[in-house]
Structure 1
Amino acid sequence: MAKRNNDNQSIEDVLKEFVVTNNLQSGLDKVNVREAWAKLMGNGVNNYTTAIELKHDTLYVQLSSSVLREELSYGKEKIIAMLNDAIGKEVIKSLMLR
């Protein structure tokens, strides 16, 4: 039977250790990016967003409006900076709008 550890730890520390031990950080980053996109871009852009996918350090966003895609392409660097700021770390290095 496993020995019980009597050291007191905060739930935050235990969860961080669990994420690191089980290599879950990349999956959590994908979820955080989707949530940040929805929050920062608002309903206008979200209505035309059909898919969001994070592969390595590139965020792929599929849009159903070519006009919106062109408009967002002018501010890619600002969008990347806003998303990374919302997540709290640099996860996204490039943005591909499809």
Structure 2
Amino acid sequence: MTEPVPGQTPEPAVADDATATPTDGPEPAAANPQELFGSLSLAAIEADIDRLMSDKMSELDGMLAGLEDLVQRLEGEITNLEPPPDEADTPKG
């Protein structure tokens, strides 16, 4: 390889050369699952699941309360729109 000359721009590297991986280099060792997941405990996983389920149940409770309010409002509007029932014992005339 030649030394760069002052005032001259160096030639750009070819993309294949820049991204090529050495074929004679050592292969990376396979990851040990115990090392990857060793810090996780069943108790921590269960706590995370319980927390997520609690959050989702709170969301569902809020949605259910909103639906109950909507049903009550709609029932009230329907009741106001219905004509009063005719009483059978009142004479018509």
The TM tier, using the shorter chain, reads under 0.3
Please say which structure displays the higher CA radius of gyration: 2
Structure showing greater relative contact order (alpha-carbon pairs closer than 8 Å, 6 or more residues apart): 1
TM-score by length of 1: 0.22
TM-score by length of 2: 0.23
User: Higher strand fraction: Structure 1 or Structure 2?
Assistant: 1
